[in-house]
Structure 1
Amino acid sequence: MFKIVGIINYLFVVFLNAFTDLGHKIIIQNTVFKTYEGSEQIIFTAVVNALILLPFILAFSPSGFLADRFAKNIIMKYSALLAVFITLLITYSYYQGWFFTAFALTFLLALQSAIYGPAKYGYIKELVGVKYISAGNGAIQATTTAAILLGIIFYTVLFEMLLGDNFSTKEDILHVIAPLGWLLVLGSVVEYILASKLPNKMIEATKREFVFKRYIRGEYLKKNMIMIMRKKEIFDAIIALSLFWSISQVVLAIFGEYAKGKLGITNAITVQGVMALAVLGIVFGSVIAANLSKYYVNMGLSALSAFGIAVVLFFIPHTSSITLLSLEFIFFGLFSGVLIVPLNAKIQLLSPNIHLGTILAGNNFIQTLFMFAFLMLTTIFAYFGVDATSLFYLMMITGVYLSIKLFKRYFVMSFWAFFELLFRIRYKFNYVGLENVEPSGAIMLIGNHVSWIDWFILQLPLERRISYIIDKDIYKHKLLNWAFKLAELIPVSQRASKNSFVETSMKLKNGKIVAIFPEGEISRSSDVSKFYRGYEFIDRSGSVIVPFYIDGVFGSLFARHKGDARRCFLKKREITLYFGEPITGTITPEELREMVVNLKC
């Protein structure tokens, strides 16, 4: 992916945009931290975050229209130019000691980001294509969060170094730290220069015209919301992201007061540093999610990580150690990154190119509504004396709801994602000839049977769910029968196989993918055993046979022969699965076995 022209430049543009926006927010938040306490601190922090969110609500229709109407690189270019003028105004406010003016200019800087957002995320699909959409989202999420992490550390450290004890009011603080404003300006100028060099990758533009009266009357809002809700999976993914970002906003808003009131921490570097570790976790989580979505968008990861977030939120209020809090925030970020990347990739993948900008703007709009509502509720709760600990528990309950919502939709994928995480601890998987397994159409996978995890090795790179033929006695196992039914496995026995062949034929007629191990049992040696001819009794008209050969599992813990007991435990076992070219005609068991054996050659 990194060989694609423009990708590195694009990542730098994204980095600088987030780094600069975050810089001003940190300066204002640290000023609030230094001059307010208790409920006032929570309220002002929540209002700062609300000012950042409000433009995403107001600019929903215009930003979506612009991203669909004009080339996305042009939108990013002029948004960066707008940021140059806004940061100059912010710097002037610092020097004048105008706290509330600088506070209000947070809104304008966020408005620039709201216009920029749909173009930034829509550009991913245009630049890297569907093949690298998960990797592209992982790279952008990692870059954005790295910028946030470095921005938090960079501006907080400089803030504390310049400030010292030389202040008594918030106006004094701005006078002292005013030179930091020039760094905001510099970041915006460099971003503009780099954005000017981004290639135009526009595929298709809308021919609609923007009518301001229709925007004021809310007609665009209504029409765009209908478009977003048209595909339920897109809308559900947007709601899931909205709940997650709402939880995150509240956690960031209340942690400062929690650290100050419950733990007695008054140093802004310590507080911001602990929260910054969550951003570091997001970087690692984004990379992990992109790696685990190498073959398709792995939505099961989002469900598992939502549960992880809820668990972390439960432990934070019970923790008084800075070291443990730091570890918990790292895990919060890690789970967050794993949750975000598949959801964003899925939205982009399912969205038609001509409406991509509008749908991504709608994504921002709904997320912002949720975050704004959560922050307002936080402000109200704080006003009536609800402490940070109670708010943490409320966010934990929200996290539990989010995980339940995702598990209901992606239960099967969550099951496979769990096993993938488990097996990747000890195994490295390679796939050769994966392009021979078409993303649609009836396919019969036939190959060697080496271990108890062959079912997993076959399924791992395929988004389509495979129906396996399984021994009837195993299928009827009391504890596992419900899972086998859910997985649509096909039971077969030597005495009564006709029904199994009929069921398999029906699945193939319906365009499904079925896997058969014609050896009949797990190999007891490294040789491929005789292939039985049962598959010949299956009606496979309209389907193809794709032969496969699994190599590297024999001798492992899950094979009949356990191999060398002296093998280093820390060294991963490398497993390679070879897929052969599709076979359309008839083929004898002997010929098929020979073809399977030769796949490794």
Structure 2
Amino acid sequence: MSAHHPNQFALLGQRRFAPFFWTQFLGAANDNVFKFAFTLMVTYQLQLSWLSPQMAGLVIGALFILPFVLFSATSGQLADKYDKARLMRWVKSLEIAIMALAAAGFHATHVPTLLACVCLMGLHSTLFGPVKYAYLPQQLNERELTGGNGMVEMGTFVAILLGQLAGGVLVDTPVVGPQHVACACLGLAVLGRLTAQAIPASPSTDPALKINWNPVTETWRNLKLARGQLAVFRSLLGISWMWFFGAVFLANFPAFAKEVLHGGPQVASLLLAVFSVGIGIGSLLCELLSRRHVEIGLVPLGAIGMSVFAIDLYFASTGLPPAEGLSVAAFLAQPAHWRVLADLALLALFAGLYSVPMYALIQLRAVPTHRARIIAANNILNALFMIASSVIAGALLGAGLSIPQVFLVVGIANVLVGIYIFLIVPEYLLRFVAFVLSRIAYRFKITHDERIPVSGAAVLVCNHVSFVDAVLLMAASPRPIRFLMDHQIFRIPVLGWLFRLAKAIPVAPQKTDPATYEAAFSTARAVLQDGELVCIFPEGAITRDGTLQPFKGGVMKLVDGMPGVPVIPMALGNLWGSFFSRVEGGKAMVKPLRRGIWSPVSLTVGPAMAAATVTPEDLRERVADLLTSATPAR
């Protein structure tokens, strides 16, 4: 993000984002005004023999989700084939037609018509979803993507909250409530179409695509397509699990408020408000904590928080004193209830930290020509996981578990799911370690990190000061890095395991182990040919006196015959004398807190050099100059 746009809120002043943001905001609000008002009308105002109040919410929810399962694959193809702005305008025009039909249904109190509109609004959201998430990476750069997703996530949950509150108030108006809802829904649809008109063009990424109208075969094809990129596919599963997790809480808020917290309907609305605000705050925090990069190290942090506060919610809501239909004021007057609200808010906040980086990762790494179809696959999985959530939560309640016990089970299950995801895709765990080290153990200031390319091959060259240099470089890079590292470092407990997870390439001196030496450079060159980043520490070993050692010729061997690969010099500053560096007789990691906690260190990234012009002496001089100009964090 440029200096002219210092944070994610500045995007609201730009045409490439603001019209899109308000279009999706108004659409989410309209969905919830309509659905919530209709649900309350069927539950409290109508007496239908064929649709009981107990079943109304379930039927309406199922009808809304059904199109996601049936038509997400088709919608993903449409979003890849056509201009996304044009498609969004078409979808918003469809919304006006649906809401016009719904207005007639409200006016005549014709429930079958309104049920049909629920399904049609589900179709509207199904068509809009892939376009929404595929539009962002076309309009925002890598440094803006996390903030943009955070704004969208925050806006969606605020729109859900406001929509449900407005729907409840409007439908409760005596005599004319349904007519007020009809006018509000139609008005929101028209406003959404007007804002969509201002969305800038977002060209097709695959105009030659032939639409496969068979939803079954195309759904299967999309899932296979997503599986082709392991990190992307695991992120799809991770997001779907988040919706499973969140759906358990959202679906049980009314019963939880009534049966466990002894509150009235307003208390259930308060729980929804607290949850929505928590999600919004967590989503907005992602940009700040990630330093405007796609920082998937936040995902394990989010998973930990989700489990901790879901489990604590069980203990906080157990053994509350009996009461009857507490108002919001009476509910808030009891100190024990504040712990429940804090758990809900923090659980939701960490869910925001968990989901936003995953969405950004999918957008950044999915093949652009197939991006919308992969997001459509995510919508299918989300729908299936939410259906499974309802079935499993219902089975647990039917087996005699209380609602707090269901929350406890889900919190524990989240621990197991997190461990599974982070072990099969270790990049999440590695980024988490790098995130913690660079923000807690050190104050890590990065200068010119925009010089690290977000795509394409490059060789990163850095001085070698400590045993955690590689971890700090992971924290600085928006992409995974493959490190050429001394084979002996793999023998160090914990660090050796960590570097194996990072797929670091072991290298030995040519004189002592020529086979390992040649294999290392062969592997590194193959990595570069695949368009990835490789980092080498040309001093060959960690410095023993804090000074920059002579650079060896490994860089020359690495870039030989690869003139198009840039070489990027970097300098780590102020690490000498820390716990992880060699001091006091050449020993490292022998005196904890040697420099305290949160000591300042720095990384300065220099301009890229053409491979053809690189020499070890010139590279060393460039790194030395960067060290001289480096200033640590304060």
TM-score higher than 0.5 here?
yes
Higher mean alpha-carbon deviation, 435-444 vs 552-561, is at 552-561
| 1:148-202 CA-partner distances (Å, limit 9, x unpaired) | 243345555x369x56xxxxxxxx7x75465344333222111111112222222
What amino acid maps onto 2:410 in structure 1? M
Structure 1 counterpart of 2:343, one-letter code: E
Which residue is 1:262 aligned to?
Answer: 260
3-state SS of the aligned residue for 1:429?
strand
Alignment partners' CA distance in 1, 2:34 and 2:99: 9
* Partner Cα separation in structure 1 for residue 494 and residue 468 of structure 2: 18
- Find the residue that maps to 1:366 and give its secondary structure: helix
Shift of 1:10: 1.0
Task: Answer whether contact 2:43 2:56 (CA < 8 A) is retained.
Answer: no
Q: What is the match of residue 416 of structure 1?
A: 431
Letter of the structure 1 residue corresponding to residue 274 of structure 2: L
Task: State the Cα deviation string for residues 210-259 of structure 1 (Å, max 9, x = none).
Answer: 6xxx85xxx34213422431341344433332232123223211121122
Match of 2:189 in 1: 188
Give me the whole-angstrom Cα distance separating, in 2, the residues matched to 1:438 and 1:7: 21
Equivalent residues of 1:53, 1:368 under 8 A apart: yes
Alignment correspondent of 1:302: 299
**Gap change, CA 1:200 and 1:15, over 3 Å in 2:** same
Q: Paired residue for 2:485? A: 469
Selected match of 1:532 from 534, 550, 558: 550
- Alignment correspondent of 2:49: none
Instruction: Tell me if structure 1 keeps the 8 A contact 2:298–2:357.
Output: yes
Tell whether 2:131 aligns with 1:119: yes
Using the TM superposition, give the Cα deviation of residue 324 of structure 1 relative to its aligned residue in structure 2, in angstroms: 1.8
Flag the 1:559–1:331 CA change in 2: closer, same or farther, 3 A.
same
Cα deviation 1:77-126 (Å, max 9, x = unaligned):
23223323433444454455556754553333222222222222222233
User: Cα 1:49–1:434, aligned 2, differ >3 Å: closer, same or farther?
Assistant: same
TM-score (norm 2): 0.76
Alignment check: 8 A CA contact 1:300 1:411 kept: no
CA-to-aligned-CA distance 1:435-477 (integer Å, 9 cap, x gap)? 366855462513263x6643333222322324253594x6534
Q: Which consecutive unaligned segments of at least 5 residues does structure 1 have?
A: 164-171
Letter in 1 for 2:389: F
CA distance in 2, matches of 1:369, 1:508: 41
CA distance in 1, matches of 2:288, 2:397: 41
Q: Which amino acid aligns with 1:459?
A: M
| 2:338 pairs with 1:323 | yes
Partner of 1:168: none
Contact 2:138–2:202, Cα closer than 8 Å, also in 1: yes
2:632 maps to: none
Which residue is 2:244 aligned to? 246
Structure 2 counterpart of 1:223, from 218, 238, 242: 218
The aligned residue for residue 87 of structure 1 is 99
For 2:43 and 2:347, locate their aligned partners in 1 and report how far apart those are by CA, in whole Å. Answer: 23
Q: Call closer, same or farther: CA 1:396–1:435 in 2, change over 3 Å.
A: same
Q: The residue matched to 1:59 in structure 2 has which SS?
A: helix
- State the alpha-carbon separation in 1 of the partners of residues 194 and 457 from structure 2: 48
Separation in 2, partners of 1:249, 1:238: 16
Give the counterpart letter for 1:250 in structure 2.
V
Match for residue 569 of structure 2? 547
Aligned partner of 2:78 in structure 1 is 66
8 Å CA contact 2:287, 2:293 repeated in 1: no
Counterpart in the other structure of 2:323: none
Query: How much has 1:390 moved relative to structure 2?
Result: 4.2
Partner SS for 2:476: coil
Residue identity in the other structure for 1:246: F
Q: Which consecutive residues of structure 2, in runs of 5 or more, have no partner in the other structure?
A: 2-10, 47-51, 318-335, 529-533, 584-592, 630-634
Identify which of structures 1 and 2 has the higher relative contact order when contacts are C-alpha pairs closer than 8 Å and 6+ apart: 1
1:8 aligns with 2:9: no
Checking the alignment, whether the CA contact within 8 Å between 1:63 and 1:115 is kept in structure 2 is yes
Q: State the shift of 1:536 in Å.
A: 5.9
Q: Which amino acid aligns with 1:282?
A: I
- Distance, in Å, in 2 between the alignment partners of 1:438 and 1:246 is 32
Q: CA deviation at 1:289?
A: 3.5
1:114 to 1:538, Cα distance in 2 relative to 1, 3 A: closer
In the TM superposition, what whole-angstrom CA distance separates every residue of 1:544-576 from its partner, at most 9, and x where no partner exists? 753322346568787789xxx9x9999x94734
Partner of 1:285: 282
Corresponding residue of 1:275: 272
Is 1:515 the counterpart of 2:536? The answer is yes
Assess if the C-alpha contact under 8 Å between 1:72 and 1:123 holds in 2. yes
Deviates more, 1:418-427 or 1:26-35: 26-35
Q: Which among 557, 579, 582 is matched to residue 606 of structure 2?
A: 579
Question: In the TM superposition, what is the alpha-carbon distance from 1:382 to its structure 2 partner?
Answer: 5.4
1:271 Cα deviation from its structure 2 partner: 1.4
Identity of aligned residues (%): 22
Using the TM superposition, give the Cα deviation of residue 264 of structure 1 relative to its aligned residue in structure 2, in angstroms.
0.6
* 1:20-419 matched pairs, under 5 angstroms: 20-30=30-40, 43-94=55-106, 102=114, 105-128=117-140, 132-156=144-168, 158=169, 175-176=176-177, 178-207=179-208, 215=213, 219-232=214-227, 233=230, 234-266=232-264, 268-290=265-287, 297-320=294-317, 321-379=336-394, 387-419=402-434
Q: 8 Å contact 2:103–2:179 — kept in the other structure? A: yes
Could you tell me how far 1:31 is from its partner in structure 2? 5.4
CA RMSD, Structure 1 to Structure 2 (Å): 4.2
The letter for the 2-side match of 1:243 is: W
Choose the corresponding residue for 1:19, options 29, 48, 54: 29
Partners of 1:82 and 1:536 in 2: how far apart?
61
Residues 43-102 of structure 1 deviation map (CA, whole Å, 9 limit, x = unaligned): 543333222211222333443343344332222223223323433444454455556754
Supply the distance in 1 between the matched residues of 2:210 and 2:520 (Cα, whole angstroms). Answer: 53
Q: What is the CA-CA distance between 1:21 and the residue it aligns to?
A: 1.1
Question: Helix, strand or coil: the match of 2:198?
Answer: coil
| One-letter amino acid matched to 2:79 | A
CA distance in 1, matches of 2:156, 2:369: 26
Q: Secondary structure at the match of 2:385?
A: helix
Alignment of 1:419-568 (within 5 A): 419-425=434-440, 427-432=443-448, 434-435=450-451, 439-441=455-457, 443=459, 445-447=461-463, 449=465, 453-462=468-477, 463-467=479-483, 469-470=485-486, 472=488, 475-478=490-493, 480-487=495-502, 488=504, 490=506, 501-502=517-518, 504-511=520-527, 513-516=534-537, 518=539, 521=542, 529-535=547-553, 539-540=557-558, 541-542=560-561, 546-551=568-573
Question: Match for 1:582: what amino acid?
Answer: M
Change (3 A) 1:509 1:418: closer
Secondary structure of residue in 1 paired with 2:358: helix
Shift of 1:406: 1.6
Deviation at 1:524, TM superposition (A): 6.1
Distance 1:276 1:595 in 2: 54
